[in-house]
Copies of this chain bind each other. A is one copy, B any other.
């Protein structure tokens, strides 16, 4: 499997492991992983499935989705490099949300038993892994707070800033979500997203062309986040 070997030399997950895991533990982990690619739209971990894997994502962006009676909600987004599946793992191995690729992704699938063995024997590694979980939790809380606090334009401003700051680290980017997905993220109707984005564009707060966005007035966006 040449891809895996090539990647492993420069793998961030390996770097983390190197600092906290002994050679024996890492070799154990290494033998149990398999390099995989996921197409845009593919489900990496499926809600309500008993799972036996974690995935260390090397490249790409994913969405955390919760499905309730046929309707989808986006909890948050995450990008590589990141460890996927820890929250589900801690929830008695039952996935409470799905993780879905929103662009083509590459990652290493890690066997759950091996992961558990290392986690149990290696507190330093466990704390490291937990940090990743805490970050996801904090980010989800931010969305939660925005939902409970703001009206729709505040939530959409929040999402734009989130994409700019946390995902692309650039005021100019291409929206990785459709208007419908933004609506699932903001907890509102698709039409409301379309109108609000066009309003922002009209007011000169953003420059919008299809999926291409530029945040031209971040202060104003921040203000909208705070005020409503």
Residues of A within 8 A of B (CB): 66, 68-69, 71, 73, 75, 87, 90-91, 96-97, 119-124, 126-127, 130-131, 133-134, 137-138, 140-141, 143-145, 147-149, 187, 226
Partner of A96, one of B66, B141, B149: B141
B90 touches A148 (CB 8 A): no
CB-defined contacts of A127 to chain B, threshold 8 Å: 119-120, 126
Residues of the B chain whose Cβ atoms lie less than 8 Å from the Cβ of A68: 145, 149, 226
Which residues of the other chain, B, contact A143 by a CB distance below 8 angstroms? Answer: 144
A140 lies within 8 A of B144 (CB): yes
Indicate if the CB atoms of A134 and B187 lie closer than 8 Å: no
Return chain B residues, CB-CB under 8 Å to A66.
141, 145
Report yes or no: A130 in contact with B90, Cβ–Cβ below 8 A.
yes
Taking a contact as CB atoms closer than 8 A, the residue among B130, B131, B144 that contacts A147 in the complex is B144
- Distance of A105 Cα from B143 Cα, bound (Å): 30
Shortest CB-to-CB span from A158 to chain B, Å, is 12
With beta carbons under 8 angstroms apart, the residue of B121, B131, B144 that contacts A123 is: B121
Which chain B residue lies CB-closest to A66? B145
Which of B73, B120, B141 interacts with A148 by CB under 8 Å?
A: B73
Are A147 and B87 in contact (CB-based, < 8 A)?
Answer: no
Name the distance in Å between A115's Cβ and chain B's nearest Cβ: 13
What distance in Å separates the Cβ of A206 from its nearest Cβ neighbour in chain B?
23
Question: How far, in Å, is A147 (CB) from chain B's closest CB?
Answer: 5
26 CB contacts below 8 A, A to B, read A68-B145, A69-B226, A71-B149, A73-B145, A73-B148, A73-B149, A90-B130, A90-B131, A90-B133, A90-B134, A91-B134, A96-B138, A96-B141, A97-B141, A119-B123, A119-B127, A120-B123, A120-B124, A123-B123, A123-B126, A126-B126, A130-B130, A137-B137, A140-B141, A144-B144, A147-B147
Least CB distance, A149 to chain B, in whole angstroms: 6
A149 to B133 Cα, complex, angstroms: 24
